[in-house]
Chain A
Amino acid sequence: MTDKRVTILLAEDNPGDVFLVRRALEKQGLHFDLVVVEDGQAALHFLDRADTDETVARPDLALLDLNLPRATGSRILLRIRQSLRCAAIPVIVVTSSDSPVDHEAAVKLGANHYFQKPGDLAGFMQLGAIVSQLLNDGKPLQASSSVS
Chain B
Amino acid sequence: MPLRLDGRIDRPWRFLAIGIVLVVVVLFYADFRAFEDATAQIDVTRQLLQGTDAVLSSVKDAETSQRGYLITNDKNYLAPYNAAVKALPRQLDELSRAASAAGREVSQVARIRTLVDAKMEELKLTIQAQDQRGEAAAQAIVQTEEGRLTMDELRAASALVSSGEYVSLFERTRASELHANRSRIIVLVGCVGLVFLLFRLGTAVDKVVSERESFVQTVEESRRLLQTTLASIGDAVIVTDEDGAVRFMNPVAEKLTGWDVQEAAKRPLGEVFQVAGEQSRAPAENPFLMVKRGSTTRIATAEDSVLLSRDRGDIPIEDSAAPIRDPHGEVLGVVLVFRDVTARRIAERELERWKRFFAEAGFGMFVMDPKTLTFVDMNTTFATMHGYSVDELRGTPVAMVAAPESREKFLSDLRVASDQNRHTFEHQHVRRDGTEFPSLIDLTTFHHGEEQYWAGYCSDITERKQFEDALKESEERFRTLASTLPQLIWSTDPEGRFEYVNPAWIAYTGWSAGPWPEDPWSLVLHPADREDFMQRWNNSLASGNIFESEARMRRASDGGYRWFLCRGVAVRDRGGAIVRWLGGCTDVQQQVESATQLKLANEALQRSNADLEQFAYAASHDLQEPLRMVSIYSQLLKEEFGNGLDRRAGSYIDFAVGGAQRMSKLLKALLEYSRVGSEASAWQQKTDANIAVAAALLNLETMVRDAQAEICAGPLPMVRVPEIHLTQLFQNLIGNAIKYRKDGEKPRVRVEATAAGGGQWLFSIQDNGIGIDPEYLTQIFGVFKRLHGPAVEGTGIGLALCQRIVERAGGRIWAESQPGEGATFFFTLAETDSGR
Contact = CB atoms under 8 A, between A and B. Distances in A.
Contacts of B631: 119-120
A133 interface: no
B636 interface: yes
A25 B735 CA distance: 40
Contacts of A119: 624, 627-628, 631-632, 660-661, 664
A124 B635 CA distance: 11
B103 to A, nearest CB: 176
Given A16-B633, A96-B628, A121 B661 contact: no
Nearest to B617: A99
Interface in B605-648: 621, 624-625, 627-629, 631-633, 635-636, 639
B624 A124 contact: no
- Counting chain A CB atoms within 10 Å of each CB, the highest count among B624, B628, B629, B664 belongs to B628
Contacts of A16: 629, 632-633
Interface residues of B, number: 15
Contact of A120 (B624, B625, B629, B635): B635
Given A119-B660, A119-B661, A119-B664, A96 B625 contact: yes
Contact of A121 (B624, B639, B664): B639
A96 to B, nearest CB: 6
Contact of B624 (A14, A20, A96): A96
Nearest to B630: A119
Task: Please classify the interface of chain A as helix (H, G, I), strand (E, B), loop, or mixed, using the class held by over half of its residues.
Answer: loop
A97 B621 contact: yes
Interface in A30-76: none
B353 to A, nearest CB: 79
Interface residues of A, number: 11
Task: Please classify the interface of chain B as helix (H, G, I), strand (E, B), loop, or mixed, using the class held by over half of its residues.
Answer: helix
B621 A96 contact: yes
B645 to A, nearest CB: 16
Contacts of A20: 632
B69 to A, nearest CB: 198
A103 to B, nearest CB: 15
Interface string A113-127: 000011111001000
A119 B635 CA distance: 10
B662 to A, nearest CB: 11
A121 B636 CA distance: 7
A66 to B, nearest CB: 12
Nearest to B637: A121
Nearest to A16: B629
Contacts of A96: 621, 624-625, 628
B628 A117 contact: yes
Interface string A7-31: 0000000101000100000000000
Given A119-B660, A119-B664, A124 B632 contact: yes
A124 B507 CA distance: 82
Interface in B387-440: none
A124 B628 CA distance: 10
18 contacts: A14-B629, A16-B632, A16-B633, A96-B621, A96-B624, A96-B625, A117-B628, A119-B628, A119-B631, A119-B660, A119-B661, A119-B664, A120-B631, A120-B632, A120-B635, A120-B661, A121-B636, A124-B632
Interface of B: 621, 624-625, 627-629, 631-633, 635-636, 639, 660-661, 664
Interface of A: 14, 16, 20, 96-97, 117-121, 124
Given A96-B625, A120-B632, 6 more contacts: A16-B632, A20-B632, A119-B624, A119-B627, A120-B631, A124-B632
